[in-house]
Structures are given as C-alpha cells and as structure tokens.
Amino acid sequence: MGWKESIIEWFDIFGPAALAMLSFTEAIIQPVPPDLLYLPMLLNAGSNAPLVFWLWMVVTIASVSGALVGYYVGQRLGVQLIEYFGYERHLHTLQSLTEKYGGIGIFVAAFSPLPYKVFGWVAGMAAMNKKAFVIAGVLGRGLRFGAEAILIWFYGDSLLDAIMWFLDNELLLGIVLVIVCGLAGYFMVKAKSKPSTMSAE
C-alpha cells in the first residue's frame, strides 16, 4: 500500500469530517488531493442527491478556507515553502500568472491540476486582494468538484479510473498547462505587437 492510500484509509474512518480536514490541509501544505477521498464518497452516495450536494459543499468550502490560510502562510513563509517542496522552478511562472491575471490565475489553479496551494502562497506573497482571491477560489474549486460529482453521478465506476489517472499525474499535467498557457500568451502578445501591414488608402 502506498503512502497516499495509507493516508486516505486513515481519513476515511471519519467520513465527511475527514473530507473537510483533508481538503482544508491540502490547500495549505499537504500533498494528498481531496479528490482521492471525495470521489469514492461520491460513488458510495450513489443517487442520494442531498448527500452528493453536501459532500460537494464540504470539499469546496474546506478547500477555499484552507487556501485562505495558505494565503496568510505565503505572506510569511512563501519562498521557503516553495523551495522546500521543489516548486521554485515554477515560481516565476506562478508569480506572473498571479500578478498579471489576478483572480483569473487563481481560478485556473483552483479548477485545473495546477498546485492550488502554491497559488495561495504566491497570492499571499504578492498581497493579492483577498476578496478576489476567495471568489476565484470558490468558483474554481466549486466547478472542479461539481464537475467530478456530475461525472461520477452519470458514469460511476467507468469514469473513476480515468479521473484517478489524472490525479496521479496532476503535477505533470499542471506543468504542461502552464507551458501551453505561456506559449498562447506569448503568441497573442506577439500578434498584437505586429505593425499593421495594411497600406493607407
């Protein structure tokens, strides 16, 4: 049994409270994504819509609350944490996305495989507007966890393995996404900066 599975097995004993704890702490510092516990819970909930909605609210609110704590942690220890976890090679890109795109950058991090906790640290380091940070997090995390709930509701076990593969490779996918977004932004800026070739009439 891997270390992630051991942590999930321990958390699973406590039900939704454990989901809240895992989601909260993951958005601050620890590396195990709440999806690993959230998805099996959704599967077990089956067609119980109130329970599915409750799990979605728990994981979303806990994650955004943890990210807000991560924001304050970033104000004090952001650089040290990024270096400790080996994210320093992404620091410039993360800072650029946060400073240039603000809430949109946080929304992308919250919804995508990008490391949401690191965006929280960087947002704190950059003293980003806290209201915009929270709103972007609620929208991004809410959409991510809501989409997972809808997919599991309709497809169940048949989709669980595919989602788990994405979660196992989320760092790699996040890096690819950053590169793609960076290249797209570069070519957009380059295209806008080209002088018009149309001759004056």
Q: Give residue 4's pLDDT.
A: 54
- 89 or 84, greater pLDDT: 84
CB-based contacts of 86, cutoff 8 Å, min separation 6: none
| Dihedral (CA of 15, 169, 150, 106) sign | positive
Above 80 in pLDDT, residue 201?
no
Q: Are the C-beta atoms of 62 and 21 separated by less than 8 Å?
A: yes
Say how many CA atoms lie within 13 Å of 117 toward its Cβ.
24
Structure tokens at 188: 């957009």
pLDDT digits (tens, 9 = 90+) for 104-113: 778 877 877 6
pLDDT digits (tens, 9 = 90+) for 62-81: 999 999 999 998 888 877 77
Above 70 in pLDDT, residue 5?
no
Q: Give residue 168's pLDDT.
A: 60
What is the pLDDT averaged over residues 82-102?
Answer: 68
What is the pLDDT averaged over residues 154-169?
Answer: 68
What is the pLDDT averaged over residues 46-63?
Answer: 93
- 119 or 170, greater pLDDT: 119
Q: Give residue 20's pLDDT.
A: 92
Q: How many CB atoms lie within 10 A of CB 145?
A: 25
Structure tokens at 57: 């609210």
Q: Give residue 98's pLDDT.
A: 67
Q: Where are the domains of the chain?
A: 3-193
Q: Give residue 1's pLDDT.
A: 46
Q: Give residue 156's pLDDT.
A: 78
What is the pLDDT averaged over residues 89-101?
Answer: 66
- Look over the chain and give the mean of its residue pLDDT values, rounded to a whole number: 76
Above 70 in pLDDT, residue 167?
no
- 115 or 171, greater pLDDT: 115
Most confident of 41-45, 99-103, 155-159: 41-45
